[in-house]
Chains A and B, each alone.
Chain A
Amino acid sequence: MGKRVGLEVTVAVAEAVALCRIDMAGVYPITPQSHIAEHLSNLVADGVLDAEFVTVESEHSAMSAVIGASATGARSYTATASQGLLLMNELLPIASAMRLPICMAIANRAVSGPLNILNDHSDIMPQRDTGWITLFVENGQEAIDLSIQAFKIAEHKDVMLPVCVNIDGFQLTHMVEPVELPTQEEVDKFLPPFTPHATLHPAKPVTMGAFSMSDYFAEIMKAKDEAIKNSKKVILEVWDEWGKMFGRNYKAVETYQAEDAEILMLTMGSMGETAQVAIDELRGKGIKAGLVKLRLWRPFPFEEIRATLKNAKKLIVTDRACSFGGPGGPVFSEIKSALYAGDNHPAMYNFIYGLGGRDVPVQDFTGMFEKVIADTDNKAKDTYEFWGVRE
Chain B
Amino acid sequence: MALKTWKELPVGCVVSEPGSASEYHTGSWRSQRPVWNDAKCIKCGICYVFCPEGCVQQAEDGLFKANLDYCKGCGICAHECWPRAITMVEEG
- Chain A residues in the interface with B (C-beta under 8 A): 97-100, 160, 197-198, 205-208, 210, 212, 215-216, 219-220, 222-223, 226
Find chain A residues with CB under 8 A from B3 CB: 215-216, 219
Given contacts A220-B6, A222-B6, A226-B6, contact A97 B12 (CB under 8 A): yes
Determine whether the beta carbon of B9 is less than 8 Å from that of A220.
yes
CA distance A197 to B14 in the complex (A): 9
Q: Looking at the complex, which one of A208, A212, A216, A222 makes contact with B14 (CB distance below 8 Å)?
A: A208
B40 → A minimal CB distance (Å): 35
Determine whether the beta carbon of A212 is less than 8 Å from that of B13.
yes
B22 at the interface (CB under 8 A from A): no
A–B pairs, 7, beta carbons within 8 Å? A197-B14, A219-B3, A219-B4, A219-B9, A220-B6, A223-B6, A223-B9
Find chain B residues with CB under 8 A from A197 CB: 11-12, 14
- Closest residue of chain A to B18 (Cβ to Cβ) is A205
Find chain B residues with CB under 8 A from A97 CB: 12-13
B15 at the interface (CB under 8 A from A): yes
Given contacts A219-B4, A226-B6, contact A100 B15 (CB under 8 A): no
CA distance A97 to B13 in the complex (A): 8
Near A by CB (< 8 A), chain B positions 1-21 give 3-7, 9-16, 18, 20-21
Determine whether the beta carbon of B13 is less than 8 Å from that of A198.
no
Determine whether the beta carbon of B14 is less than 8 Å from that of A206.
yes
B17 → A minimal CB distance (Å): 9
A378 → B minimal CB distance (Å): 44
Find chain A residues with CB under 8 A from B5 CB: 219
Find chain A residues with CB under 8 A from B7 CB: 223
CA distance A220 to B3 in the complex (A): 12
> Among the interface residues A97, A100, A207, A212, which one has the most CB atoms of the partner chain B within 10 A?
A207
> Among the interface residues B6, B9, B12, which one has the most CB atoms of the partner chain A within 10 A?
B12
- Closest residue of chain B to A226 (Cβ to Cβ) is B6
Determine whether the beta carbon of B15 is less than 8 Å from that of A206.
yes
B7 → A minimal CB distance (Å): 8
Determine whether the beta carbon of B6 is less than 8 Å from that of A98.
no
A253 → B minimal CB distance (Å): 29
Determine whether the beta carbon of A198 is less than 8 Å from that of B12.
yes
Determine whether the beta carbon of B11 is less than 8 Å from that of A206.
no
CA distance A215 to B7 in the complex (A): 15
Determine whether the beta carbon of B15 is less than 8 Å from that of A160.
no
Determine whether the beta carbon of A210 is less than 8 Å from that of B15.
yes
CA distance A198 to B20 in the complex (A): 17
CA distance A197 to B13 in the complex (A): 11
CA distance A98 to B10 in the complex (A): 10
Determine whether the beta carbon of B15 is less than 8 Å from that of A207.
yes
- Closest residue of chain A to B24 (Cβ to Cβ) is A211
Find chain B residues with CB under 8 A from A160 CB: 11-12
Determine whether the beta carbon of A220 is less than 8 Å from that of B13.
yes
A207 → B minimal CB distance (Å): 4
> Among the interface residues B11, B13, B15, which one has the most CB atoms of the partner chain A within 10 A?
B13
A77 → B minimal CB distance (Å): 19
Determine whether the beta carbon of B13 is less than 8 Å from that of A206.
no
Determine whether the beta carbon of B6 is less than 8 Å from that of A99.
no
Determine whether the beta carbon of B14 is less than 8 Å from that of A207.
yes
Q: B38-80 CB contact bits vs A (8 Å, 1 = yes)?
A: 0000000000000000000000000000000000000000000
Determine whether the beta carbon of A98 is less than 8 Å from that of B15.
no
A117 → B minimal CB distance (Å): 36
CA distance A223 to B21 in the complex (A): 22
Q: Please provide the 10 A-B residue pairs with the shortest distance between their CB atoms, ordered closest to farther.
A: A99-B12, A207-B15, A219-B6, A222-B6, A198-B14, A197-B11, A205-B18, A223-B6, A98-B12, A99-B11
Determine whether the beta carbon of B12 is less than 8 Å from that of A208.
yes
Find chain B residues with CB under 8 A from A198 CB: 10-12, 14, 16
CA distance A97 to B6 in the complex (A): 13
Find chain A residues with CB under 8 A from B11 CB: 99, 160, 197-198
- Closest residue of chain B to A227 (Cβ to Cβ) is B11
Find chain B residues with CB under 8 A from A222 CB: 6
